[in-house]
Structure 1
Amino acid sequence: MNLKDLAKTLGLSPTTVSRALNGYPEVSEATRARVAEAARRHNYRPNTQAKRLATGRAMAIGHVIPLRASGHEIVNPVFADFIAGAGEVYAQAGYDMVLSIVPDDDEERIYRELRSRGNVDGVIVHAPRAGDPRIALLSELGIPFVVHGRASGLRMPYSWVDVNNTHAFERATRFLTDLGHRRIALINGIETMDFALRRRRGFERALAAREIPCDPALMVAGEMTEAQGHDAASRMLDSAAPPTAFLTASFLSAMGVRRALWERGMKMGRDASIVTHDDELGYLKNGAEEPIFTATRSSVREAGRRCARMLIAQIEAGPGRAPQTDLLEAVLVVGPSTGPVPERAFHDGVLARHAHNGVRK
């Protein structure tokens, strides 16, 4: 089946079908979904070679992944779901994906080579850091790009798709304070990463609004793994003033916190509360029908789709297209991992305040 046949089947013009498959923003989501479903049903695939000859483009999108000293980016559990979402859009639009895994000090060289060779039409930038130099470099090289996330401290305009991490963690922290929690721990991602900086900012903002001081002993940043959550929670729970609630930056970290509670005979939601961020991963679900954890939820697969559509639209439009942005809001999903502050902790807090004020019981 060719493009004209597919368009006739749908009762649409070939131009509309082509624009829907190529991610143009002026096509409605309903039409885009209808065209994508028909393309899958009829096993339609654009003729990539013909498009290369007709457009002079490579019909390929680049993903350059820096292999940092800790290796955290390439093993990031959200990466596969992001690529799956982006890959759906590439396949529909007839684009291939070029994945390059490089050492940090080779990253600039790889981008320059991609530009000089012309073997990709654009790139998606992953794991942005505050003031990320890759954004200025790609703008200088003239390569179309979209950032998955944002880079604090940059004033230059660029295209990005991001979750409102600050608002998500501010809302999650307020949810815990509304339940009476005052000793709330933050188990965050690596805070050179922009998303982690924004999440910490939301956490601190919510505490400040309730006049709750930030305790550095209850704030940890690092690799978002099950071991990180377990080890950090264990240290805090064994301290003289343990937290009654945990806010974690990943589902894996939350699982580690749950293990630390279990080892101490504690039940989450009763003896301590946990709120996490859920990227809605296809292979690591926050429960099936009912959630395991209270979570701020946002689909990283959908973010991949949106980044891919935005980049393809930028490529198709050619030079001069104004940068586009897309800020996604996370949804707060309530599960059994949260509950009111334990009564023991509440009374301990009252006694501590009386002692501080010189009042004896």
Structure 2
Amino acid sequence: MTLKELAKALGLSPTTVSRALNGFPEVSEETRKKVRAAAEAYGYRPNMRARSLATGRAMAIGHVIPIQSGHEMVNPVFADFISGAGEIYSQAGYDMLISIVPDDRQQQAYQDFRTKGSVDGIIVHAPRAGDRRIHLLNEVGIPFVVHGRASDTHEDYSWVDMNNLRAFERATKLLLDLGHRRIALINGLEDMDFAIRRRAGVRAALETQGIALDDRLCFTGEMTEQYGHAAMTKLLALPDPPTAVLTSSMIPGIGIRRAIRESGREIGRDVSVIIHDDDLSYLPNGRDDPLFTATRSSVREAGRAAATMLLDIIATGDFTPRHVLLEADLILGRSTGPVQALTPT
């Protein structure tokens, strides 16, 4: 069905129908509802090119993905975030433009989006401490939402984040309640904001018991299975190895489990492990009987929240910074237990 045919069926002019579908304020709410209901009933789908011309919008949201090796964005957790955001874009008639660039070309990619007018807004991924992209996007005036927060950035901006500090503070306190005192942290890259906050959460919990965070028990790196395995192997080789370990993802958690098994020890009995699992659709931790004790949050839900926030900023023109802080659940699994003395193997 064409726009003209829909207008004829409704007894309205094509201009009125177009304006109703595109949310123009001069069309009454009653007419908008009537037109949208008819469009749904008749299966009408607007011509996006024509809609873009009518609204002056590109009807697309930009995502810039760096491809430099050693960067956290290689983590496939990104796929779940994109899936959540994509659901919201699709419902609103928006497309997604993904620009894959070398790490040092990110700022140019944002400027190109603005210059070409190819997107109406941008989602910023993987913020770092003092992230310069925040200032750049504030300066060019394009709507944006950050997935995460940027430590040491003094400008305000819109963001959706998980309470990383609180999640890892709670997880560490659980281990302390189980009697653990030598607690290791196998973290993500620690110039990334989430990793900075998770380390701060571990430190805060330890300090409640008068324990200093031992840097020799802390690792930082790209969150791969191999990284988790290598870090845990080194920890278990220490004269006084940790009895518990926290890690920033399910993915290194699998490597940690492999290293514990290879050492002849048992996870949950000899070494307790807590992961952050992001409620991954492609790598489930289990619902009724979780393998790992985990701080669990839905990165897909974070994608939905960020997309919803950005589309509202675009629709209203209100650039007032907005903030959504999601809390993680602490899920008990089979990977944690009371502290026991480790014996050499």
In structure 2, the partner of 1:57 is 57
In structure 1, the partner of 2:338 is 340
Q: Which amino acid aligns with 1:306?
A: A
Q: Kindly state the Cα deviation for residue 330 of structure 1 after the two structures are TM-superposed.
A: 0.3
In structure 2, the partner of 1:151 is 150
How far apart in 2 are the matches of 1:214 and 1:43? 60
In structure 1, the partner of 2:91 is 92
Change (3 A) 1:44 1:177: farther
Q: Which amino acid aligns with 1:62?
A: G
In structure 2, the partner of 1:76 is 75
In structure 1, the partner of 2:319 is 321
How far apart in 2 are the matches of 1:42 and 1:334? 49
**CA offsets per residue over residues 32-83 of structure 1, 9 Å max, x none?**
xxx9xxx7x997755533421221100000001122242442x211111111
Task: Output aligned runs, 1:151-170, within 5 Å.
Answer: 151-170=150-169
1:295 maps to 2:312? no
In structure 2, the partner of 1:219 is 218
Change (3 A) 1:130 1:300: same
Q: Kindly state the Cα deviation for residue 220 of structure 1 after the two structures are TM-superposed.
A: 0.4
Task: Output aligned runs, 1:209-288, within 5 Å.
Answer: 209-288=208-287
How far apart in 2 are the matches of 1:213 and 1:223? 25
How far apart in 2 are the matches of 1:141 and 1:321? 13
Q: Which amino acid aligns with 1:327?
A: L
The answer to whether the 8 A contact 1:45-1:91 is kept is no
In structure 2, the partner of 1:330 is 328
The answer to whether the 8 A contact 1:45-1:92 is kept is no
Change (3 A) 1:154 1:19: farther
**CA offsets per residue over residues 187-228 of structure 1, 9 Å max, x none?**
000001000000000001110111112211110000111111
Change (3 A) 1:94 1:274: same
**CA offsets per residue over residues 122-150 of structure 1, 9 Å max, x none?**
10000000110001000100110000000
The answer to whether the 8 A contact 2:67-2:100 is kept is yes
The answer to whether the 8 A contact 1:254-1:276 is kept is yes
The answer to whether the 8 A contact 2:22-2:55 is kept is no
How far apart in 2 are the matches of 1:19 and 1:78? 34
Change (3 A) 1:44 1:208: farther
Q: Kindly state the Cα deviation for residue 2 of structure 1 after the two structures are TM-superposed.
A: 9.9
Change (3 A) 1:217 1:19: farther
How far apart in 1 are the matches of 2:45 and 2:335? 45
How far apart in 1 are the matches of 2:142 and 2:269? 53
SS of the equivalent of 1:168 reads helix
Q: So what's the TM-score if we normalise by structure 1?
A: 0.82
In structure 1, the partner of 2:179 is 180
Bigger shift: residues 81-90 or 286-295: 286-295
Change (3 A) 1:118 1:278: same
SS of the equivalent of 2:186 reads strand
1:137 maps to 2:136? yes
1:118 maps to 2:106? no
The answer to whether the 8 A contact 1:45-1:94 is kept is no
Q: Which amino acid aligns with 1:121?
A: D
The answer to whether the 8 A contact 2:71-2:222 is kept is no
Q: Kindly state the Cα deviation for residue 246 of structure 1 after the two structures are TM-superposed.
A: 0.7
The answer to whether the 8 A contact 2:143-2:319 is kept is no
The answer to whether the 8 A contact 1:47-1:94 is kept is no
How far apart in 1 are the matches of 2:43 and 2:324? 30
Change (3 A) 1:42 1:187: farther
Q: Which amino acid aligns with 2:228?
A: G
Q: Which amino acid aligns with 1:102?
A: V
Change (3 A) 1:179 1:46: farther
How far apart in 2 are the matches of 1:105 and 1:235? 33
Bigger shift: residues 82-91 or 283-292: 283-292
SS of the equivalent of 1:182 reads coil
Change (3 A) 1:71 1:197: closer
Q: Which amino acid aligns with 1:249?
A: S
Change (3 A) 1:186 1:51: same
Change (3 A) 1:76 1:322: same
User: Which runs of 5 or more residues in structure 1 are unaligned?
Assistant: 6-13, 21-34, 348-361
The answer to whether the 8 A contact 1:46-1:93 is kept is no
Change (3 A) 1:232 1:44: farther
User: Which runs of 5 or more residues in structure 2 are unaligned?
Assistant: 8-16, 24-35
